[in-house]
Structure 1
Amino acid sequence: MNRFPRLLPAYTHRLSNGLGVIVHPIPIADSVTVDVWVRTGGRHEPPEWLGLSHFLEHMVFKGSERLAPGELDWAVEGRGGVTNAATGQDYTHYYITVAAADLADTLPYLAEVVLRAGIPDPEFERERQVVLEEIRRAADNPDYTAYQLLMQTAYGEHPYGRPVLGTPESLMQLTPEVMRAYHRAWYRPESMTVVVTGGIDPERALALVEEQFGSSAAGPAPVSPPIPPQPRPQGILRRESDHARLEQARLKLAWPTVGIDDWQQACGLEMLASVLGDGRTSRLVHLLREQRGWVRAIGCSSLVLKEGGLFCIGAQLEPKDVARVEATILHEIEKLQQDGIGQAELDRTRRMLIHEFLFSAESPSQLAGIYGYYETLGGVQRIQEYLELVQSFTPAQIRELAQQYLSLEAYVVTVLKPTALDPAMASELQLACR
């Protein structure tokens, strides 16, 4: 195995069938997390199969020819462990956390269902109803709706603009045969990485992974459907909607940026996001929430995906304040573009980001997620590069990024507002409250 240097002392290895393995021992830990990452998610689906990756995530837990539905959960949770999974646009991953002494007994169950998911017909129909209910619950969530409104507006026909959960219409078109074919195409060792973190000897961990995953045969690389380039707004692209369960409006401003292959720019944009909206002393939080009280909450993030990023500022506020808050955000961006930031502000941002990263890597499960995410999107070396780049940026570079990416004449803005009551209903509500 190769030792990954410096801050995060992981060992990396590649099995003969192409499977990537990352092992990070934590001698003082009593638990072990195994996280299996697959390089397929929402963006790899044809439009008519929308939601397939997430639906398959559910079906993996329904066993194989050798395991009945629920046996993985029984084997892990019956020993006090945890099983879970998640699907994104660029990945799907499955993980277990167990006592270190139970790893050898539980890993075979995880490998079996991930590599050889049976996708039984009766379970398929039952689980379809579960996923449809998940879609209905998500639609009732204002924050989910606001996020999807932004992504659809910002990405247009690009797959990143589509919901990972799919739609009721697309879910009803899926069949077990389609899902089995998708599983065979993508769940191959050369498209997967297994991460093991916690109280385990590295050589022992590698031997267990080799035993359970090494016999899986490699195959031809799957072919993704053609993906259009990430769109760039021409002028200000505005979209508004409403939501019955909303009490305060959700305002989001966004600018297309870079994908993970342009890692230096991506790291600088994360620093810029922290300057604007990370913590009480950041510019927008301090001005709009602490000083003026125009927003209930405000924050800034730089989303980095495989094929294109999005710099986003989001606020929760009263509908009457949307226009002035949007104008103030743009004014603060303009001030940053003109005047830049000071060294003290940059140093604060640098400390916050490094500490946030270190705090997010304290447990075996957190570490496994970090390793798997970075390796799946761009390579695990991005972790060390991130920590070094955050230390290297200058105030002038942050100002240049704001000038380059945060155009005041071309951006996306979405507003989700509470559904207005018609006059008759409002009168009835007032009478009922007297």
Structure 2
Amino acid sequence: MKVVKLSNGVTVSVREREDLNSVTVSVWIRAGASYETDRTRGIAHFLEHMMFNGSKNLPAGAIDREVESLGGEINAATSYDYTYYYINLPYEHGKRALELIAELVLNPLLSEEMLQKEKPIVLEEIARSKDNPQEIFAEKFMEKLYRKAPYRFPILGFEETVKEFTAEDLRNFYESLYTPERITVSIAGKVESEEMFSVTEELFGSLKRNSEVKEPEEEKAVTVADEFTVTHPAVAVPNVLLGWRLPRASREDIYYEILDSLLSSGRSSLLYRRLKEKGLAYGVYSSYQNLLLGSNFYIVVITDRIDESRKALKDTLQEVLSISKEEFEFAKEKLYKGEMFARESGEAEADAIGYALTVMRDKDYYEKFFSDLKEANYKEFLKRVQFLQEEPLTGLLLPAR
């Protein structure tokens, strides 16, 4: 991969892939839900919607229609630490993909008229989320796990905040956070680097916008042992969740990724063998969530044998604390193969590179993944997983009686 920084501060990366017949062009902005205030909860996600409602040079829907007519796809996503927009097209349309995504991201109208049309759509999305027990459960987990970091608020925001958004609110958020030094253009596919850099310079190099952004406060990696319960009529089988708060995302994430591989990667994983295979759970999985202000690790068990599953899970976590070096190396090998498979996709590479350069501000977070994995030390791993001895945050998702 090749990376350059334009004179105005925009970062551009190109990953040439001669084995592909497509190109992914994505624009990443360090501007997610973490940068909202109490009055503007949900505005990062709302702005993502509004970016598709017309630009200075193209009416609403025109970019979507052109991308589809060229045989591609266009979409976007908002998270806590970032928002990104992407276009996938056949490789011969790489330049046009850049032109279209630049028009989308750099020239949005953000009109009052379109804002009023978009509000019912976003409010409906919030209402639907309340009908989804898994979303409610996940939001409650984040609310309980974090005491200071803005991750305790839902990305969609609240009905009462979204209703009050104005076009001025959107423009203020956009102009303060969609600034050159917070933007990365990540390109992966069958392209020629110098051509892509040249076109990107033409399109993004003239952006001049400065603002002082107060970065959210990082939260210390301390898990407060607590328990919460969510009940919902749509729940058929109870879920048990155990979660721990961890340090902010860094290249040390590799140890938590290995832990995730050890616990829940395939039928050979510990959780599968100790719970699913023995009939104690219908499903069980773990996940590491790498976040800028404090990460987390959690395990979910889908079971109607709650007490037995919790005991088996506790025993399994004790087993991890003294896992053999052979099992550790096997977990590393599974993680290696999984990442190799994931990187076959140009879109996945553009995403991973965009995250590394925009959120982590460290290209080595992506480029040195495999060397970090190879060098991951067994004794260091045993130290890193000691948090499993701490009392976790425990959540129960139960059928409503």
Deviation at 1:228, TM superposition (A): 6.4
Q: Does residue 50 of structure 1 match 2:41?
A: yes
Partner in structure 1 of residue 74 of structure 2: 83
Secondary structure of 2:31's partner?
coil
Partner in structure 2 of residue 365 of structure 1: 347
Q: Could you tell me which of 298, 301, 323 is aligned with 2:284?
A: 298
Matches within 5 A, 1:49-128: 49-128=40-119
Q: Is the 8 A contact 2:145 2:152 kept in 1?
A: yes
Deviation at 1:152, TM superposition (A): 1.1
Q: Could you tell me which of 366, 369, 384 is aligned with 2:367?
A: 384
Q: Could you tell me which of 371, 382, 393 is aligned with 1:399?
A: 382
Deviation at 1:61, TM superposition (A): 0.7
Partner in structure 2 of residue 416 of structure 1: 397
Q: Could you tell me which of 262, 275, 280 is aligned with 1:275?
A: 262
CA 1:329 to 1:126, structure 2 compared with 1: closer, same or farther past 3 Å?
A: same
- In structure 2, the gaps of 5 or more residues are none
Partner in structure 1 of residue 312 of structure 2: 328
Partner in structure 2 of residue 430 of structure 1: none
Counterpart CA distance in 1 for 2:319 and 2:341 is 32
1:79-119 deviations in whole A, cap 9, x for unaligned?
Answer: 11110000000000000011222232342221122012111
Q: Is the 8 A contact 1:64 1:118 kept in 2?
A: yes
Matches within 5 A, 1:32-51: 32-51=23-42
Secondary structure of 2:188's partner?
strand
How big is the alpha-carbon RMSD for the aligned residues of Structure 1 and Structure 2?
1.6
Counterpart CA distance in 1 for 2:377 and 2:223 is 29
CA 1:129 to 1:91, structure 2 compared with 1: closer, same or farther past 3 Å?
A: same
Matches within 5 A, 1:204-223: 204-223=195-214
1:344-375 deviations in whole A, cap 9, x for unaligned?
Answer: 21221111111111111112211111111121
Q: Is the 8 A contact 2:95 2:196 kept in 1?
A: no
Q: Does residue 31 of structure 1 match 2:22?
A: yes
Deviation at 1:218, TM superposition (A): 3.9
Partner in structure 1 of residue 189 of structure 2: 198
Counterpart CA distance in 2 for 1:377 and 1:13 is 17
Q: Could you tell me which of 123, 128, 131 is aligned with 1:132?
A: 123
Counterpart CA distance in 2 for 1:155 and 1:92 is 21
Q: Structure 2: which amino acid aligns with 1:229? A: E
Q: Is the 8 A contact 1:49 1:171 kept in 2?
A: yes
Q: Does residue 175 of structure 1 match 2:166?
A: yes
Secondary structure of 1:415's partner?
strand
Deviation at 1:251, TM superposition (A): 1.0
Secondary structure of 2:293's partner?
coil
TM-score, normalisation: structure 1: 0.88
After TM superposition, where is structure 1 displaced by more than 4 Å over at least 4 residues in a row? none
* Number of equivalences: 400
Deviation at 1:230, TM superposition (A): 4.4
Counterpart CA distance in 2 for 1:195 and 1:388 is 22
Q: Is the 8 A contact 2:148 2:219 kept in 1?
A: no
- In structure 1, the gaps of 5 or more residues are 1-9, 421-434
Q: Is the 8 A contact 2:185 2:354 kept in 1?
A: yes
Deviation at 1:189, TM superposition (A): 1.3
Q: Is the 8 A contact 1:252 1:314 kept in 2?
A: yes
Secondary structure of 1:406's partner?
helix
Q: Is the 8 A contact 1:190 1:218 kept in 2?
A: no
Deviation at 1:208, TM superposition (A): 1.1
Secondary structure of 2:294's partner?
coil
Q: Is the 8 A contact 2:221 2:246 kept in 1?
A: no
Q: Structure 2: which amino acid aligns with 1:270? A: E
CA 1:217 to 1:59, structure 2 compared with 1: closer, same or farther past 3 Å?
A: same
Q: Is the 8 A contact 2:175 2:209 kept in 1?
A: no
Q: Does residue 258 of structure 1 match 2:231?
A: no
Q: Is the 8 A contact 1:34 1:368 kept in 2?
A: yes
Larger gyration radius, structure 1 or structure 2: 1
Q: Could you tell me which of 233, 243, 250 is aligned with 2:232?
A: 243
1:147-197 deviations in whole A, cap 9, x for unaligned?
Answer: 112111111342111111112112112111100111011111111000111
Deviation at 1:273, TM superposition (A): 2.3
TM-score, normalisation: structure 2: 0.96
Partner in structure 2 of residue 355 of structure 1: 337
Partner in structure 1 of residue 297 of structure 2: 311
Deviation at 1:272, TM superposition (A): 1.7
Partner in structure 2 of residue 428 of structure 1: none
Choose 358-367 or 175-184, whichever is displaced more: 358-367
Q: Is the 8 A contact 2:254 2:376 kept in 1?
A: no
CA 1:230 to 1:136, structure 2 compared with 1: closer, same or farther past 3 Å?
A: farther
Q: Is the 8 A contact 1:155 1:230 kept in 2?
A: no
Choose 133-142 or 80-89, whichever is displaced more: 133-142
Secondary structure of 2:71's partner?
coil
Choose 296-305 or 12-21, whichever is displaced more: 296-305
Choose 160-169 or 150-159, whichever is displaced more: 150-159
Counterpart CA distance in 2 for 1:352 and 1:228 is 32
Counterpart CA distance in 1 for 2:188 and 2:223 is 42
CA 1:105 to 1:335, structure 2 compared with 1: closer, same or farther past 3 Å?
A: closer
Secondary structure of 1:238's partner?
strand
